[in-house]
């Protein structure tokens, strides 16, 4: 889990860097002979307007100016800089989807281990569930208990890395909706929102209210993580899953 979360955090940093490089490309565009398409009036020729724009931006084109007035070494450096500026992470060079695809391939090699055997009823297991999201639900329930005084919390141990690892595996296995529907912590939070009871979880331990507050924090974090993951999973053909059709139950009259 720790290795998985570290890899995902690194890829997320690369993705963030790609967002910053979008601004770099916009600022460098005039110096690379890239400019917005001009507005052409009805009585104007598009070719004439484009020629005027070329002449207007020509003094800013770095490679062209260095080729005329610079040395061979300066020209080589200008071309390398121009290429380096164009080939940025924000131009589909992000490693995030690559890592997600590789993780999914690893998970699918042991499909039965992570997803369990096919359900007997053909839809989903009810009494005995062997899917990963159920195990992760139990793990999340354990560390949502408020830590006792003087004890180190899971946030201090792992930060957000543990949540990233668990949510990523759930999303890649296609178990997010079942996790949202059947998670133990989410169920406790929904019940507490109705009855508003506040009791001690254990003798001398923290109250139920504090545990529900921790659950809300983790649910908000999970939703943010799933939102980021789904942006990549939903737009990539690699992660597309076929729509499953189920035969409705037939009752004898």
Residue 95 CA to chain centroid, in angstroms? 12
User: Which pLDDT does position 234 carry in this prediction?
Assistant: 74
Residue 236 CA to chain centroid, in angstroms? 12
User: Which pLDDT does position 216 carry in this prediction?
Assistant: 94
Q: Please state the domain extents for the chain.
A: 2-86, 96-239
User: Which pLDDT does position 180 carry in this prediction?
Assistant: 93
* Closest among 231, 226, 9, 230 to 99, alpha carbons compared: 9
User: Which pLDDT does position 223 carry in this prediction?
Assistant: 95
Phi, psi of 50 (to 5 degrees): -65, -40
* Closest among 153, 161, 158, 164 to 210, alpha carbons compared: 153
Q: How far apart are the first and last CA of the chain?
A: 52
pLDDT along the chain (253 residues), means of 10: 67 71 76 77 79 80 84 87 68 69 89 84 76 92 84 83 91 91 92 80 69 92 92 70 74 71
Q: Which residues of 52-61 are buried (b: 16+ CB within 10 A; e: fewer)?
A: eeeeebeeeb
Strands of the chain, DSSP E: none
Answer for the pair 34, 53: CB distance below 8 angstroms, yes or no.
no
């Amino acid at each position: 889990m720790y290795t998985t979360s570290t890899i995902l955090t690194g890829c997320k940093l690369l993705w963030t860097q790609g967002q910053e490089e979008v601004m770099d490309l916009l600022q460098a565009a005039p110096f690379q002979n890239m400019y917005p398409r001009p507005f052409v009036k009805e009585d104007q020729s598009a070719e004439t307007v484009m020629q005027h724009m070329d002449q207007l931006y020509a003094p800013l084109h770095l490679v062209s100016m260095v080729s005329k007035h610079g040395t061979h070494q300066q020209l080589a450096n200008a071309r390398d800089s121009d290429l380096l500026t164009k080939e940025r992470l924000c131009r589909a060079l992000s490693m995030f989807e690559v890592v997600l695809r590789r993780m999914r391939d690893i998970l699918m090699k042991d499909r039965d281990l992570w997803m369990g055997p096919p359900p007997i009823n053909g839809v989903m297991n009810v009494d005995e569930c062997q899917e990963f999201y159920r195990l992760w639900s139990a793990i999340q329930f354990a560390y949502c208990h408020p830590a006792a005084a003087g004890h180190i919390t899971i946030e201090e141990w792992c930060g957000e890395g543990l949540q990233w690892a668990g949510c990523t595996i759930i999303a890649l296995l296609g178990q997010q909706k079942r996790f949202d529907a059947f998670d133990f912590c989410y169920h406790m939070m929904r019940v507490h929102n109705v009855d508003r009871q506040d009791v001690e979880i254990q003798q001398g331990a923290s109250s139920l209210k504090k545990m529900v507050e921790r659950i809300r924090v983790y649910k908000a974090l999970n939703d943010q993580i799933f939102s980021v993951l789904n942006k990549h999973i939903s737009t990539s053909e690699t992660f597309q899953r076929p729509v499953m059709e189920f035969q409705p139950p037939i009752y004898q009259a």
